[in-house]
Amino acid sequence: MVSYSVSATVNPLKKGLMNSSFTASIPHLQTERFTLREYRRSDFELFAGHLADAESSAHLGSADRATAWRIFSSHAGLWLLDGAGWWAVEDRQTGQLVGNVGAFFREQSTVMEVGWNTYRAFWGKGIAGEAAAAVLNYAFQVRHEPKVQALITSGNESSRRVAERLGMAYEMETELNGKPVGCYTLERA
């Protein structure tokens, strides 16, 4: 588990502006091949490249660098809001960043959502399924979430297959950012 403690050098408490310190804990999860860890600034180049690549981001929507930074920062910041968020997926043998995986809450949702992205150079190696299985275990065994969901765009067959291999079942069609998506769910056993 990684914990960050930040203290202000100028005391904003005197002005009533903020708490002088905060802590965010981001657990490190291990799988056979991967470490799921906090985002680091050094991860951004690969993250931005993934979102700029039209083929890699076909089901997410591609993003310019500034938008990628906002998404990257948002992913990291979710840990402060909900104690849940996104992990960078790092190969344990090589230290190479291969994708990201998340367990998080959208603004209006009380159901934890899981999501996964594998960087194109690493497609077809079972990374998303292995990382997402660790995240499901975290959601159910550590956080005791009663149910999780994955929102998958139509046509994203690889993510649909990952969801189904994880035991998730199609529940309904819904909408995300104005686009139809399938909602796949799994309840805690």
Which pTM value belongs to this model?
0.84
40 CB-contact burial (10 Å; exposed 0-12 / middle 13-18 / buried 19+): exposed
The tens digit of pLDDT for each residue in 12-32 reads 444 455 555 656 789 999 999
What is the per-residue pLDDT for 21? 60
User: What are the angstrom distances between the C-alpha of 101 and each of 22, 65, 129, 157?
Assistant: 24, 20, 10, 17
E runs forming strands in 61-121: 85-91, 97-104, 112-118
What is the per-residue pLDDT for 99? 95
Query: Edge-to-edge strands of the sheet including 34-37?
Result: 29-30, 34-37, 85-91, 97-104, 112-118, 147-153, 179-187, 169-176
- Collect the ranges in the chain with pLDDT lower than 70: 1-23, 54, 56-62
d(CA 142, CA 136): 10
89 phi, psi to nearest 5 deg = -105, 115
What is the per-residue pLDDT for 19? 54
d(CA 135, CA 132): 5
The token duo for 188 is 């805690």
CATH superfamily of this structure's domain 30-187: Gcn5-related N-acetyltransferase (GNAT) (3.40.630.30)
91 phi, psi to nearest 5 deg = -65, 125
The tens digit of pLDDT for each residue in 105-130 reads 999 889 999 999 999 899 999 999 99
What is the per-residue pLDDT for 64? 85
